[in-house]
């Protein structure tokens, strides 16, 4: 990469705007990894990410084949296309891994996340929180005179939007499961 010829003090903009315009953009990808359900399998997969400095935005794991003793790890990560290809190749070389699917590029996929929100408030704030929960189809799973716990299921964007609307109404705590995803069709 060639050095940038910029005179000192020639711009009032942030240094972050000096990035190479030809550089590849970081993208979010959802990876589905089928592994043996054995001790250490998750540690090996996650160790690949931490050992190479890759970030994990979301992680879910569950046994999906009781007879075959297989688990599905769903990982949402970010990187340039080259980095994502490298992650997929390295995952495929790990011993307990059977399959690696990039749901982002293999076609349409269904992604959902479950979240719990604790919102405290009284009076109008309480009524407004209930009204917004109804619009977002969130369920009240616990209620006291001072607070609610809402359960919401949807895309990560829907969960983020609900959180932003609840924040000024008294959002106290959030628990999120992470993304679960399946490809559509056959």
pLDDT digits (tens, 9 = 90+) for 30-43: 999 999 999 999 99
Query: Given this model, what pLDDT does residue 185 score?
Result: 86
Average pLDDT of the residues in 95-109: 93
Query: Given this model, what pLDDT does residue 180 score?
Result: 95
Query: Quick check: do 25-102 and 109-183 share a fold?
Result: yes
Query: Given this model, what pLDDT does residue 1 score?
Result: 53
Using a 10 angstrom Cβ sphere, with 0-12 exposed, 13-18 middle and 19 or more buried, the burial of residue 43 is exposed
- Give the residue extent of every domain in the chain: 25-102, 109-183
* Each residue's pLDDT tens digit, 46-57: 999 999 999 999
For 61-91, give one letter per residue: b (16+ CB within 10 A) or e.
beeeeeeeebbbbbbbbebeeebbeebbebb
Give domain 109-183's CATH superfamily. Answer: ACT-like. Chain A, domain 2 (3.30.70.1150)
* Each residue's pLDDT tens digit, 127-178: 999 999 999 999 999 999 999 999 999 999 999 999 999 999 999 999 999 9
Looking at the chain, the whole-number percentage of residues with pLDDT higher than 70 is 88
Between residues 25 and 85, the one the model is more confident about:
85
Query: Given this model, what pLDDT does residue 4 score?
Result: 55
Question: What's the pLDDT band for 24 if we cut at 50, 70, 90?
Answer: confident
The domain 25-102 having CATH identifier 3.40.640.10: the answer here is no
Query: Given this model, what pLDDT does residue 63 score?
Result: 95
Reference 104, options 45, 158, 162, 26; nearest CA is 26
């Amino acid at each position: 990469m060639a050095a940038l010829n910029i005179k000192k003090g020639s711009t009032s903009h942030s240094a972050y705007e000096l990035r190479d315009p030809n550089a590849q953009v970081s993208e979010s990808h959802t990876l589905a990894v089928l592994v043996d359900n054995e001790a250490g399998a998750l540690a090996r997969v996650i160790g690949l990410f931490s050992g190479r400095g890759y970030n994990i935005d979301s992680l879910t794991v569950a046994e999906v084949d009781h007879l075959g003793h297989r688990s599905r790890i769903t990982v949402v990560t970010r990187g340039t296309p080259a980095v994502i290809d490298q992650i997929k190749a390295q995952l495929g070389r790990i011993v307990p891994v059977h399959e690696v699917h990039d749901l982002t590029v293999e076609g349409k996929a269904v992604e959902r996340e479950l979240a719990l929100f604790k919102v405290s408030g009284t009076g109008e704030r309480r009524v407004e929180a209930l009204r917004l929960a109804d619009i977002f189809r969130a369920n009240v799973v616990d209620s006291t005179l001072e607070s609610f716990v809402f359960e919401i299921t949807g895309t990560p964007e829907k969960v983020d939007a609900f959180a932003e609307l609840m924040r000024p109404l008294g959002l106290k705590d959030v628990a999120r499961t992470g993304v679960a995803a399946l490809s559509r069709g056959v």
